């Protein structure tokens, strides 16, 4: 393969429609072949039906813990958005590159891949690890398979750079999230005889009211963290469906809710409070009237928050290679950094080209300037990995 520059690589990556939950295998094949051309071997970790894959590769010594460059390959849908050009055909002007995923986060992946020939030809003393995931946009779903596989690796990366769009500022914190679908099952009857049934919609409403009240409750008892735009853990119900007709006591009601926690708040115990009310208060009451009543929770997604210390090695290291030597505000959006950090002990910083303001929007773009900064960071990183035996 002829060597491709960052712009050409970005064009290629954007051209693969990798909307979350659709296959990312064509993009992964392209990356794999590209890496092969520089004699870089990669491992794939698939989802259950083998329609999507994570890719992991190490460049440099395989018996030393190195620096992980990580990003997701999936993008959000373009449906319903008014684009001025084909979102899967990169458009460039003097200022920027446009296309779905330009900043979130194929721009970062393109910069990393553009550095591969150099990474492969230098004798790296500290290895670089590439970790590309799928289905991040639907709640960091795909990377969990990669993390499971990595937990069995003899040598794991020591620190991680997660290239989500931060305008190349170093972001050290974000909230965690747990999202659930809840199904409430009661018992149906004619609405003229409501005492013979168990109204699933009304019990669901009680649970929703409890979830809503948790917002005020946590603000009372938690220390507010003003480094976040919303400085407390939040509870939110996003949709509801239940019942069939006004004159029937509804048997079934379904809704979805999420909790976004400050990293210092224990997500499991917040979830437990909701489940406790559902099971021990509401369900107990429902079952007194109908033994077959049920309230069940199915997890939609779940990832921890990130809280990297300013004094940590990964911050000093990133500062030494990043031309944009600034800290960004804690992110309102989640990333895979919290999972890498908590589950594998890979201390991580979120830092990548482009702005979250452009992510998920029509005419998404990453500026040429931001791509240059990221390329400079990768180049410095390669130099540092060549010289340095320590991280």
Q: Which residues bind Zn ion (CB under 5 A)?
A: 104-105, 164
DSSP 91-112: EE-SSEEESTTIIIIIHHHHHH
CB of 9 to Zn ion, least distance (A): 18
Q: Return the number of the residue (103 or 346) whose C-beta is nearest Zn ion.
A: 103
CB of 57 to Zn ion, least distance (A): 20
Q: Return the number of the residue (265 or 364) whose C-beta is nearest Zn ion.
A: 364
Query: Which residues neighbour 101 within 8 Å (Cβ) at sequence distance 6 or greater?
Result: 13, 14, 18, 75, 107, 364
Cβ atoms of 366 and 103 closer than 8 Å: yes
Q: Is 64 exposed, middle or buried (0-12, 13-18, 19+ CB in 10 A)?
A: middle
| Cβ-count burial 18-35 (b if 16+ within 10 Å, e if not) | bbbbbbbbebbebbbebb
Peptide bond into 7 cis (omega under 30): no
CB of 356 to Zn ion, least distance (A): 8
Q: Return the number of the residue (74 or 225) whose C-beta is nearest Zn ion.
A: 74
First-to-last alpha carbon distance for the chain, in angstroms, is 32
CB of 264 to Zn ion, least distance (A): 24
Q: Return the number of the residue (104 or 364) whose C-beta is nearest Zn ion.
A: 104
Query: Which residues neighbour 242 within 8 Å (Cβ) at sequence distance 6 or greater?
Result: 184, 200, 201, 204, 250, 252, 253, 254, 255
Q: Return the number of the residue (265 or 336) whose C-beta is nearest Zn ion.
A: 336
Give the other-Cβ count within 10 Å of 216's Cβ: 10
Helix (H) or strand (E) holding 182: strand 176-185
Q: Return the number of the residue (20 or 342) whose C-beta is nearest Zn ion.
A: 20
CB of 339 to Zn ion, least distance (A): 14
Q: Return the number of the residue (137 or 225) whose C-beta is nearest Zn ion.
A: 137
Helix (H) or strand (E) holding 132: strand 128-133
CB of 96 to Zn ion, least distance (A): 18
C-alpha distance from residue 319 to each of 238, 285, 290, 313 (Å): 39, 57, 62, 10
CB of 145 to Zn ion, least distance (A): 18
Q: Which residue is nearest to Zn ion (CB)?
A: 104
CA triplet 63, 352, 8: central angle to 5 degrees? Answer: 90
CB of 4 to Zn ion, least distance (A): 23
Q: Return the number of the residue (96 or 249) whose C-beta is nearest Zn ion.
A: 96
């Amino acid at each position: 393969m002829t060597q491709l520059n960052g712009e050409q690589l970005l064009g290629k990556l954007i051209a693969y429609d990798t909307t979350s939950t659709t296959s990312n295998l064509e993009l992964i094949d392209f990356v794999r072949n590209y890496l092969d051309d520089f004699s870089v071997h990669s491992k794939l970790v698939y989802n259950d039906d083998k329609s999507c894959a994570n890719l992991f590769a190490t460049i440099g010594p395989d018996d030393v813990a190195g620096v992980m460059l990580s990003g997701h390959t999936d993008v959000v849908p373009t449906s319903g958005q008014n684009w001025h050009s084909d979102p899967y055909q990169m458009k460039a002007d003097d200022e920027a590159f446009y296309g779905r995923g330009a900043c979130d986060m194929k721009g970062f992946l393109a910069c990393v891949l553009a550095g591969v020939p150099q990474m492969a030809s230098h004798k790296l003393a500290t290895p670089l690890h590439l970790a590309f995931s799928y289905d991040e946009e639907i709640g960091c779903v795909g990377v969990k398979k990669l993390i499971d596989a990595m937990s069995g690796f003899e040598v794991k990366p020591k620190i991680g750079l997660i290239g989500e769009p931060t305008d190349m500022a170093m972001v050290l914190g974000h909230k965690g999230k747990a999202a659930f679908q809840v199904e409430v099952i009661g018992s149906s009857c004619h609405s003229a005889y409501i005492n013979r049934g168990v109204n699933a919609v009304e019990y669901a409403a009680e649970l929703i009211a409890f979830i809503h009240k948790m917002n005020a409750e946590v603000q009372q008892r938690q220390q507010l963290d003003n480094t976040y735009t919303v400085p407390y853990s939040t509870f939110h119900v996003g949709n509801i469906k239940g019942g069939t007709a006004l004159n029937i006591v509804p048997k079934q009601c379904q809704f979805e809710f999420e909790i976004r926690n400050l990293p210092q708040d224990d997500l499991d115990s917040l979830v437990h409070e909701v489940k406790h009310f559902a099971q021990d208060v509401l369900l107990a009451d429902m079952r007194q009237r109908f033994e077959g009543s049920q309230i069940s929770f199915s997890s939609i997604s779940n990832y921890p928050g990130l809280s990297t210390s300013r004094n940590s090695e990964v911050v000093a290291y990133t500062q030494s290679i990043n031309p944009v030597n600034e800290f960004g505000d804690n992110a309102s959006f989640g990333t895979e950094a919290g999972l890498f950090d908590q589950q594998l002990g890979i201390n991580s910083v979120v830092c990548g080209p482009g702005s979250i303001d452009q992510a998920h929007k029509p005419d998404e773009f990453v500026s040429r300037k931001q791509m240059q900064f990221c390329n400079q960071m990768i180049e410095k990183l390669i130099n540092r990995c060549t010289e340095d035996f320590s991280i």
